[in-house]
Amino acid sequence: MAATNAGGAQVFRYGSMRAQVAGFEAVLADGSVVRRMGGLLKDNSGYDLAGLLVGSEGTLAIFTALTLRLIPRSARRLTGLLALPGVESAVALAAHLRGAVPSLTACELLLPDGIALVCAHRRLPQPFALSADAACVLVECAADDDPAGELAAALDRAPAPLAQAFADDSAGRARLWAYREEQNESVGYVGVPCKFDVTIPHASIASFLADVRAQIAEAFPAAHLYAFGHLCDGNLHLNVVGAPLDADAGLDALVLGIVAAYDGSISAEHGVGQTRRDYLGLTRSAADIAAMHAIKRALDPLGQLNPGKVLGA
């Protein structure tokens, strides 16, 4: 988790793994061990080696121990699924709720085709009738006091949703989350997906989704795009099934090129690894990549650590 700077649905509230790492022990390429496990909250004594190693995907060092920041478990949780007229209103609702609801811990985008897929393959009832161009937002609030009043007050100040369902018991909450959580596995019933994990600036999420959907349809008529993601971070997960998976076919280049044109990131939380390595130059400049290479050579001159990942030769 630390090596990849893992994310998830609650990053906008609590930060990614980098924000949780308060201390670490790591083995460097020369076999030396750096250990600073104290967990001091303020430490400006030299370079932030921990922050650099987190997210370096094992290419600069290997973590062997961590001190983690822990967040108290909230006593109360409330989950809601809201249907809205489209992606644009879903993005607007997410921005409103983020500002108005301090207890908000998740704000996920779901689309009707993805929900239908889960219903078909997990044998769940449709949560409510949805037109094809609707969009759903799954919200979750967590607090020690019941967050229902806070959420209801914020929803009262937003356009009324087309439909809504709420649950504050764990079984009911799990039923609502299934429409989101099961999409990843359900996509596999349709075909082998090509997966993208991208960040798009908030203001462009709706137009990006329309754009990427149209361009995929034009280039790969047999393909279908299932999209969901974390609205408050602008982090979209795109799953394309029915398109040729080999890189030469051009799906990766097409989608990631559109992401770059929207000033997005080609990897929001899953990292670069080897499948995204050759696309790094789409969003990071030559000077930026040269600096990364210089750091890699400095800490791993023989290229022994996770070779071929993140950076090319």
Map the footprint of its own copies across residues 44-103, applying CB under 8 A: 44-49, 51-52, 54-56, 60, 72, 99, 102
Pick the stretch among 83-91, 146-154, 207-215, 275-283 that binds its own copies (CB under 8 A): 275-283
Instruction: Tell me the three state secondary structure of residue 90.
Output: helix
According to the binding rule CB under 8 A, does residue 302 interact with its own copies? Answer: no
Considering only residues 78, 183, 264, 305, which one is a binding residue for its own copies as defined by CB under 8 A? 264
Taking the CA atoms of 18, 20, 22 and 28 in sequence, report the sign of the dihedral they define.
negative
Give every strand in the sheet of 21-28, ordered side by side.
Answer: 33-36, 21-28, 61-68
Considering only residues 288, 304, 307, 312, which one is a binding residue for its own copies as defined by CB under 8 A? 288
Instruction: Tell me the three state secondary structure of residue 119.
Output: helix
Q: Which is nearer to its own copies, 47 or 171 (CB)?
A: 47
According to the binding rule CB under 8 A, does residue 287 interact with its own copies? Answer: yes
According to the binding rule CB under 8 A, does residue 298 interact with its own copies? Answer: yes
CA–CA dist 211, 192 (Å, integer): 23
According to the binding rule CB under 8 A, does residue 305 interact with its own copies? Answer: no
What single DSSP character describes residue 267? Answer: -
Q: How many residues in the shown chain lie near its own copies by CB under 8 A?
A: 71
Residue corresponding to tokens 């793994």? 17
Considering only residues 18 to 37 of the shown chain, the ones binding its own copies according to CB under 8 A are 18-19, 28, 32-36
Q: Which is nearer to its own copies, 35 or 170 (CB)?
A: 35
According to the binding rule CB under 8 A, does residue 252 interact with its own copies? Answer: no
Q: Encoding tokens for residue 78? A: 């409330």
Cβ pair 235, 205 in contact under 8 A: no
Considering only residues 119 to 178 of the shown chain, the ones binding its own copies according to CB under 8 A are none
According to the binding rule CB under 8 A, does residue 290 interact with its own copies? Answer: yes
CA–CA dist 115, 127 (Å, integer): 9
According to the binding rule CB under 8 A, does residue 255 interact with its own copies? Answer: no
Residues in the chain, how many? 313
Q: Encoding tokens for residue 136? A: 């759903």
Phi-psi region of 308 (alpha: psi -120 to 50; beta: other; left: phi over 0): left
CA–CA dist 227, 247 (Å, integer): 20
Q: Which is nearer to its own copies, 52 or 92 (CB)?
A: 52
> Residues near 56 by Cβ (< 8 Å), separated by ≥ 6?
3, 310
Q: Which is nearer to its own copies, 67 or 164 (CB)?
A: 67
Smallest distance from the beta carbon of 123 to its own copies, in angstroms? 33
Pick the stretch among 117-125, 151-159, 179-187, 285-293 that binds its own copies (CB under 8 A): 285-293
According to the binding rule CB under 8 A, does residue 10 interact with its own copies? Answer: no
